[in-house]
Amino acid sequence: MKKLFATALVAGSLAFFAAGTVYAEEAAAPATSPAVAPETTSAAPSPEEMAKMMELMQPGEMHKILESLAGSWTYTSTMQPMPGAPAEQSSGTSENVVLYGGRFLSSKVTGTMNMNGQSTPFEGQALMGYDNIAQQFQGVWYDSFATGMMVSTGIYDAATKTITEKAEASCPITGGKRSFRNEMTFIDADHYSYTMYATDPAGGAEFKMMEIQYTKAK
């Protein structure tokens, strides 16, 4: 625009024409849009909201239940992969450690797994916690006998002192995803059990797939 106006001044005889052209162009040009104000952020949390946030971030009573499992344990397990199959006995140890100020429980299992009469070294790792917002236990398990992970969620029943989980994992027996129902029962300060139930792929009936009895090491 400025360039056109300067040219008009030099041209002399075209001054009025150029000025008119410039005026017409300026009139046709859309008005510049006003600057858009930046989006404002929401107000800072109130003291009450901040207190609630801090409460949800802290371990509570459900975390203390997991904390009671901290320490060294020995275990014996009985496993029946399918209904009617012979039960296999195994044993080992579990080292349970509380992480991040009582928020999670990490378990490292070392032992043997008996399958088809053969004893094979076995290792596994579990991580379990309680989500204050979802109000449920959450866990993951992986071991040296699989390439997938079992993921679970659970609810605690104070009357039976049992965490009942819904779990899912890839199953080498079925070649696909398989659902499980697991029960972790707190017997006393020195004993707890873990029982896994599965559905028979053939008949659809639930059966006890595995039971583990834990005893605190002295």
How does residue 11 score in pLDDT terms, banded at 50, 70 and 90? Answer: very low
Quote the Cα angle for 94-161-153, to 5°: 70
111/205 same-domain check: yes
24/110 same-domain check: no
Answer for the pair 28, 21: CB distance below 8 angstroms, yes or no: no
Answer for the pair 209, 199: CB distance below 8 angstroms, yes or no: no
5/106 same-domain check: no
pLDDT at residue 99 tops 60: yes
pTM above 0.75, yes or no: yes
DSSP tag of 171: E
pLDDT digits (tens, 9 = 90+) for 145-182: 999 999 999 999 999 999 999 999 998 878 899 999 99
20/112 same-domain check: no
Number of domains comprising the chain: 2
12/63 same-domain check: no
pLDDT at residue 66 tops 60: yes
3 state DSSP class of 63: helix
- CA separation for the pair 109, 27 (Å, rounded): 81
- The verdict on residue 95 lying in a domain is yes
151/64 same-domain check: yes
**If you average pLDDT over every residue of the chain, what do you get?**
84
How does strand 136-143 pair with strand 150-157? Answer: antiparallel
122/190 same-domain check: yes
- The verdict on residue 88 lying in a domain is yes
**Helical packing angle, 2-11 and 15-28, nearest 10°:** 160
- CA separation for the pair 165, 196 (Å, rounded): 9
pLDDT at residue 203 tops 90: no
- 203 against 135, higher pLDDT: 135
Residue 178: enclosing H or E segment and its boundaries?
Answer: strand 176-188
Residue 139 belongs to what domain range?
Answer: 59-216
Average pLDDT over residues 81-90: 89
Average pLDDT over residues 89-113: 97
- CA separation for the pair 20, 138 (Å, rounded): 76
pLDDT at residue 184 tops 70: yes
- The verdict on residue 76 lying in a domain is yes
26/63 same-domain check: no
How does residue 5 score in pLDDT terms, banded at 50, 70 and 90? Answer: very low
Highest mean pLDDT among 62-76, 110-124, 170-184: 62-76
12/66 same-domain check: no
